[in-house]
């Protein structure tokens, strides 16, 4: 059992290192897109291409993701971060993902594509009724309603009912609340599991959260392009 836990932790760390190395190796203009999803520079058109759908289902979902970006004004993660979440979830064979901050479901749909392959589930929390309603509709039309459970309400309270081991915890909500989510949910993150946090920049990151994920000997944390990735070792 101990060997299996160590293998999971090492495997997860290798996955994170490879994914982030790829992300960080991008020139600055390739990591951030301008309005309407267009690149801020020429690098994207030469090196980084859009996702190529493997089948009709993936083609449909990618089309819906593009429609969300084009027609819905709510803030969501950029496409490259959604793709990273999908790659992490699928390569880890994630079975249980928890997301704090659904918005309109854009990041959830990226992870949902992976969970279709891994036979996993996503539980996502959204406090705003309007965003929650839009996200539910997006999950339905993407054919992911059976994969994603949306909980509407204050995640600080709602997550107290969670009991199952978590493979990936994704934080993209109130930044000063990250420390509370971490304290409540880190015990549920399995050995080798990940805590991924968005908007980790000098102007937005909560110092208490940063202290917690960078000084704990049981955690390994890197921060790249505004995203922190934290491995739970044991």
CB atoms within 10 A of CB 151: 18
Distance in Å from the first CA to the final CA of the chain: 12
Segment 125-146, tens digit of pLDDT: 999 999 999 999 999 999 999 9
- C-alpha–C-alpha distance, residues 133 and 135, integer Å: 5
What does the pLDDT read at residue 42?
43
Domain of residue 90, CATH code:
3.40.50.150
- C-alpha–C-alpha distance, residues 17 and 153, integer Å: 34
What does the pLDDT read at residue 116?
97
Low-confidence ranges of the chain (pLDDT < 70): 1-46
Reported pTM: 0.83
The first and second tokens of residue 124, run together, are 């996502």
The domain tally of the chain equals 1
What does the pLDDT read at residue 47?
73
For residue 213, give its domain range.
2-232
- C-alpha–C-alpha distance, residues 197 and 114, integer Å: 19
Q: What secondary structure, in 3-state letters, does the chain show?
A: CHHHHHHHHHHHHHHHHHHHHHHHCCCHHHHCECHHHCECCCHHHHCCCCCCCCCHHHHHHHHHHHHHHHHCCCCCCCHHHHHHHHHHHHHCCCCEEEEECCCCCHHHHHHHHHHHHHCCEEEEEECCHHHHHHHHHHHHHCCCCCCEEEEECCHHHHHHHCCCCEEEEEECCCHHHHHHHHHHHHHHEEEEEEEEEECCCCCCCCHHHHHHHHHCCCEEEEEECCEEEEEECC
């Amino acid at each position: 059992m101990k060997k299996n836990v160590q293998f999971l932790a090492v495997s997860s760390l290798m996955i994170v290192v490879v994914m982030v190395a790829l992300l960080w190796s991008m020139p600055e203009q390739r990591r951030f897109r301008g309005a309407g999803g267009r690149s801020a520079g020429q690098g994207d058109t030469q090196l980084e291409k859009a996702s190529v759908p493997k089948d009709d289902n993936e083609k449909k979902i990618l089309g819906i993701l593009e429609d969300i970006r084009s027609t819905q004004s709510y803030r969501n993660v950029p496409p490259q971060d959604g793709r990273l979440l999908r790659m992490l979830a699928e390569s880890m064979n994630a079975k249980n993902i928890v997301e704090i901050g659904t918005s309109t479901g854009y990041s959830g749909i990226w992870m949902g594509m992976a969970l279709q392959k891994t036979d996993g589930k996503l539980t996502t929390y959204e406090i705003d009724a309007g965003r929650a309603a839009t996200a539910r509709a997006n999950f339905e039309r993407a054919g992911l309603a059976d994969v994603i459970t949306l909980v509407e309400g204050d995640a600080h309270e709602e997550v107290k009912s969670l009991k199952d081991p978590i493979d990936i915890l994704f934080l993209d909500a109130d930044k000063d609340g990250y420390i509370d989510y971490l304290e409540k949910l880190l015990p549920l993150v399995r050995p080798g599991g990940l805590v991924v946090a968005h908007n980790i920049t000098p102007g937005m990151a909560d110092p208490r959260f940063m202290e917690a994920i960078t000084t704990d000997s049981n955690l390994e944390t890197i921060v790249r392009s505004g995203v922190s990735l934290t491995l739970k070792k044991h």
